[in-house]
Amino acid sequence: MTTRGQSNLFSSHLRPPWPADVWSLGRFRGSQWPDLKNKFPSLPGRQTMRTLIAAIFTAWVTCAATVVTAVAAPDLILHNGKIVTVDGRFTIAQSLAIKDGRIVAVGTNADIRKRAGKDTKVIDLKGRTVIPGLIDNHAHFIRAAEHWHQEMRLDGVTSRKQVLKMLAERVRAARPGDWIVTLGGWAEEQFTDDPRGFPLAELDRIAPNNPVVLQAVYIHSYLNSAALKAAKIDENTPNPPGGRIEKDASGKPTGVVQDAGGVAFVAAKVPLPDREKWIDNTRKLVADLNQMGLTAWLDAGGRGMSAEHYESYRYLAERGELNARALWTTIRQPATPEQVEKVLAEIPQQKPFQGNDYFDNVGWGETVYGPVITQLLRPESNTKPEDLAQMRRLALALAERGLYVNSHVEMTAAIDAFLREYEAINKERPIKGLRWSFSHLDQVNEAELERMKKLGMSAQIHSRPLIQGALMHKVHGDKAWEMPPFRRVQESGIHWGLGSDATAVTTSNPFYTLWFAVTGKMIGGAKVNRQTIAREEALIAHTRSNATILFQEANLGSLAPGKYADLLVLDRDYLTVPADQIKDIKPLMTMVGGKIVYESKK
């Protein structure tokens, strides 16, 4: 088998720098020699010439072979495996070679082993499956680092009883006064034993001396008495904008704070760490992502973001210590025309792509203008002309600056309204080529997908029904069976990628995302979606397709020569394991840029 990256020693680009006629001497016979003697009068006699050429050629071949061996010998070879390359032909190989953090060859065991040098490390995969590192096209991990040392994640937990056990264990390990928080990533409907929340008395009994906040999606937060006291929430505390503090008949808080504004109000009360702890949090969060199988993501910012949130990632990236690739978009959330003016003044100063392949700004998103943003659990959309006009002013300025723009939009009416504005902008300043995208698109229809394609847009589709599927059916009825419409998007031919929108509104684990796209099931096992796709389609969407969305298609997304060695060695075969077990797949090894960043102890 011939693989990309192999060189022929006799190919034209490796010939010595002699005249073409001299290079061809070895092909001449008999009477041709006198003609050459006449053409090159300074050449020696025929026999002497042959001897000279043979000596020179032998010396050159020896030298060239030495140089090629020295240059081409890989640092690492993974062999005897099932290498799912996810290239354009979905090639399956046995082995691959890595040098200087990039893949240099993919092929059979025999082909790749020939490349080994004396210092090449060889890892026997023993038949294990290897896939490209998984890429999330829309997540909020940069923000999540702020409280990672306080987080008790409930991703994938299907038992309420287990949550109480986890909380008790955290309390035993904590110091009095330490906060214990779960800032989203779960909902009561995922518990198969007892699908309900956590009353104040129960939390007080388990954690009398530690503030506890258990935030379900962006719907509500459960607080214990210690958290109410630390947050200074009492009978005199007014409802925050967009939220509601539940109070009993006597006016005392019940420990439940409702709605997105209330959730944000509570989250802002959790104390931020100092710089060193923040950096440590970032290391640990990225290590957790590596263990799940994530090697890169596009970060959408989010609530309460500031320059401080990005600093720990920049710090680690500049020192070569960031073990995942965090590409990100600038987020501003203007809510009034006056705030729009301030953002318009800022846009001309934007300069994306000034970082490196581990940490870089790639554009703008996910909110363009706050009042027109939609919410998954609210069927209505704000399409007021005056608000869309403000969005259009901002989007036009972003187009004139030549920036990539991602917009959060979910419901059909809002998608249609956004597209009308984008189509108008495109006539004034063409956006095709800027790779603009919509996130979520839970109710996108065929006609809207065609309009997006004409604008050169991509679609980012997400796994939020993993924890919200049952709630979506309550709100949207039968429409929820097609939210999001994976199959419709796949068959439309639009460029699209698969992601999560973690950490608040769904689980972070990419194998749960793949499982949902293939089975349509939410955590706990209930079927909530009928727009499923094949596992190969899901894998492409979570790797190669997302690489393009991250502006990294030349570097990431498939296991091919020239691309970074970002890959996973799996504990079972993604392509053949029963569909219901996809969520249970775990990496035995995660590699980013040829560096092993996670290795199972098993």
* Amino acid 228: pLDDT: 98
Q: Are residues 387 and 482 in the same domain?
A: yes
* Amino acid 71: pLDDT: 52
Q: Are residues 464 and 326 in the same domain?
A: yes
Domain boundary among 267, 298, 329: 267
The answer to whether residue 330 scores a pLDDT higher than 90 is yes
The answer to whether residue 113 scores a pLDDT higher than 70 is yes
Domain boundary among 526, 541, 558: 558
Residues spanned by the domain of 258: 150-267
* Amino acid 8: pLDDT: 32
Q: Are residues 323 and 254 in the same domain?
A: no
Location of structure tokens 């409930």 = 154
Q: Are residues 331 and 439 in the same domain?
A: yes
* Amino acid 602: pLDDT: 72
Which of 55-69, 109-123, 355-369, 563-577 is predicted with the least confidence, judged by mean pLDDT? 55-69
* Amino acid 218: pLDDT: 96
* Amino acid 26: pLDDT: 34
Q: Are residues 233 and 335 in the same domain?
A: no
User: Mean pLDDT across the stretch 74-98?
Assistant: 98
Q: Are residues 323 and 463 in the same domain?
A: yes
Q: Are residues 238 and 333 in the same domain?
A: no
User: Mean pLDDT across the stretch 129-154?
Assistant: 98
Rounded CA separation 21/8 (Å):
21
pTM of the model: 0.88
With a pLDDT cut of 70, the percent of the chain lying above it is 88
Q: Are residues 192 and 331 in the same domain?
A: no
Which of 69-83, 295-309, 359-373, 382-396 is predicted with the least confidence, judged by mean pLDDT? 69-83
For residues 462 and 499, the answer to whether their CB atoms sit within 8 Å is yes
The answer to whether residue 477 scores a pLDDT higher than 60 is yes
The CATH number that applies at residue 465 is: 3.20.20.140
| Model pLDDT for residues 15-25, shown as the tens digit of each residue | 333 333 333 33
With a pLDDT cut of 90, the percent of the chain lying above it is 87
Q: Are residues 455 and 520 in the same domain?
A: yes
The CATH number that applies at residue 243 is: 3.10.310.70
Residue 89 lies in a domain: no
Residue 381 lies in a domain: yes
Residue 383 lies in a domain: yes
Q: Which of 422, 312, 408 is nearest to 366 (CA)?
A: 408
Domain boundary among 543, 558, 573: 558
Rounded CA separation 158/586 (Å):
18
**Secondary structure string (H, E, C) spanning 205-241:** HHCCCCCEEEEECCCEEEECHHHHHHCCCCCCCCCCC
b/e burial code for range 167-180 (CB count within 10 A of at least 16 → b): beebbeeeeeeebb
* Amino acid 72: pLDDT: 78
Furthest-apart CA atoms within the chain: distance in Å: 116
- Arithmetic mean of pLDDT over the chain: 91
Q: pLDDT band for position 182 (50/70/90)?
A: very high
At residue 326's C-alpha, the angle toward residues 325 and 332, to 5°, is 165
Q: What does the radius of gyration of the chain's CA atoms come to, in whole angstroms?
A: 29
The answer to whether residue 62 scores a pLDDT higher than 80 is no
Q: pLDDT band for position 56 (50/70/90)?
A: low
Which of 6-20, 365-379, 518-532, 544-558 is predicted with the least confidence, judged by mean pLDDT? 6-20
The answer to whether residue 304 scores a pLDDT higher than 80 is yes
Number of domains comprising the chain: 2
* Amino acid 2: pLDDT: 35
Residue 190 lies in a domain: yes
* Amino acid 510: pLDDT: 98
Residue 412 lies in a domain: yes
Residue 56 lies in a domain: no
C-alpha distance from residue 565 to each of 9, 216, 453, 582, 592 (Å): 26, 37, 31, 23, 6
Q: Are residues 320 and 196 in the same domain?
A: no
Helix (H, G, I), strand (E, B) or coil at 394: helix
Rounded to 10 degrees, what is the CA torsion of 88, 90, 92, 95? 40
Rounded CA separation 124/101 (Å):
19
The answer to whether residue 461 scores a pLDDT higher than 80 is yes
Residue 447 lies in a domain: yes
Q: Are residues 245 and 381 in the same domain?
A: no
* Amino acid 9: pLDDT: 26
Residue 242 lies in a domain: yes
User: Mean pLDDT across the stretch 493-498?
Assistant: 98
C-alpha distance from residue 43 to each of 17, 19, 34, 35, 50 (Å): 17, 13, 11, 12, 11
Q: Are residues 505 and 369 in the same domain?
A: yes
Q: pLDDT band for position 303 (50/70/90)?
A: confident
**DSSP designation for 564:** B
Q: pLDDT band for position 46 (50/70/90)?
A: very low
